[in-house]
């Protein structure tokens, strides 16, 4: 695999204050997750949620958009600017990967709809059924989920690559575009979730949901498999993209 030299990570929100000292920023976690499969790649960050100016889209080799505590339907000015940036990346055919909020804002920017799901929290280690993706991914995979919002209407050209009963549009690709995204968090570790879940309970998430999520953390995640696939989309110059 031939890797590009630079990847921009757009941070769409901050890591919770009580976790940042131990686990770093969302960009730190994404870089740590991807780096083993992106040898020779440098990473830079943009704190979009703090309104940090975006760079030139066609100067990027690859872009990842992080998760966030914010909802894309809030349509804050920085989010609308990010949507325009996504369109520019698409026009320039820059490989793009979205995680959670990133998954949602890519879909919204391209004509989909995102809402707070009537199904409630997706929390803990979840299993997803996969459609045809690549030779690297087939069958099912497990990943950590932390979300209330979901993509509920697909944009034109989107393909469902994986999902489950709770989140049918959990993995999306886009026809003839170097774009893919996931609703879950492959960059989150078991330890991170273990520290986050009790605080979510304190903040009002139902105790049964938190308890079930805590139990689910004993299940193994396929975060490294997902990292290899994401790296192929972002860095493989032969174009290992969803078709």
Within-domain flag for 154:
yes
More confident residue, 238 or 50: 50
7 is catalytic: no
Compute the distance between CA of residue 45 and CA of residue 235 in angstroms, rounded to an integer.
17
CB contact burial 73-87 (16+ within 10 A = b; e otherwise): eeeeebbeebbebbe
6 is catalytic: no
Say what the pLDDT of residue 163 is: 95
Within-domain flag for 85:
yes
| Residue 155, both tokens | 């944009």
Within-domain flag for 243:
no
Within-domain flag for 38:
yes
Parent domain of 25 = 6-235
More confident residue, 240 or 123: 123
Which residue is listed with tokens 């903040």? 203
- Number of structural domains the chain divides into: 1
Within-domain flag for 240:
no
Q: How confident is the model over 155-200, as pLDDT tens digits?
A: 999 999 999 999 999 999 998 899 999 999 999 999 999 999 999 9
Residue 25 scores a pLDDT above 50? yes
Q: Which of 7, 100, 167, 221 is catalytic?
A: 100
Q: Which of 3, 147, 166, 185 is catalytic?
A: 185
Q: How confident is the model over 103-155, as pLDDT tens digits?
A: 999 999 999 999 999 889 999 999 999 986 655 566 899 999 999 999 999 99
Q: Mind giving me the DSSP string for 17-59?
A: HHHHHHH--HHHHHHHHHGGGSTT-EEEEEEGGGTPPP--GGG
From the list 88, 112, 243, the residue with the least C-alpha distance to 168 is: 112
Q: Output the domain CATH number for residue 20.
A: 3.40.50.880
DSSP code at position 138: -
Is pTM beyond 0.75? Reply is: yes
166 is catalytic: no
Within-domain flag for 34:
yes
């Amino acid at each position: 695999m031939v890797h590009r030299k630079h990847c921009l990570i757009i941070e769409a929100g901050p890591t919770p204050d009580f976790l940042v000292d131990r686990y770093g920023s969302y960009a730190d976690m994404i870089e740590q997750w991807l780096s083993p499969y992106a040898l020779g790649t440098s990473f830079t960050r943009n704190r979009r949620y703090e309104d940090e100016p975006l760079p030139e889209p066609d100067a990027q080799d690859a872009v990842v958009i992080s998760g966030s505590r914010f909802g894309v339907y809030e349509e804050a000015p920085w989010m609308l600017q990010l949507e325009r940036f996504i369109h520019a990346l698409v026009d320039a055919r820059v490989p793009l990967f979205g995680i959670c909020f990133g998954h949602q804002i890519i879909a919204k920017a391209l004509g989909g709809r995102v809402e707070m799901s009537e199904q409630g929290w997706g929390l803990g280690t979840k299993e997803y059924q996969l459609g045809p993706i690549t030779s690297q991914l087939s069958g099912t995979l497990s990943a950590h989920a932390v979300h209330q919002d979901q993509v509920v209407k697909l944009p034109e050209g989107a393909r469902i690559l994986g999902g489950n009963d709770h989140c049918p549009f959990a993995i999306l690709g886009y026809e003839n575009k170097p774009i893919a995204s996931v609703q879950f968090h492959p960059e989150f570790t078991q330890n991170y979730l273990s520290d986050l879940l009790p605080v979510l309970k304190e903040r009002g998430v139902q105790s049964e949901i938190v308890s079930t999520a805590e139990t689910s953390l004993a299940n193994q995640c396929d975060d490294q498999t997902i990292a290899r696939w994401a790296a192929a989309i972002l860095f493989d110059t032969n174009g290992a993209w969803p078709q």
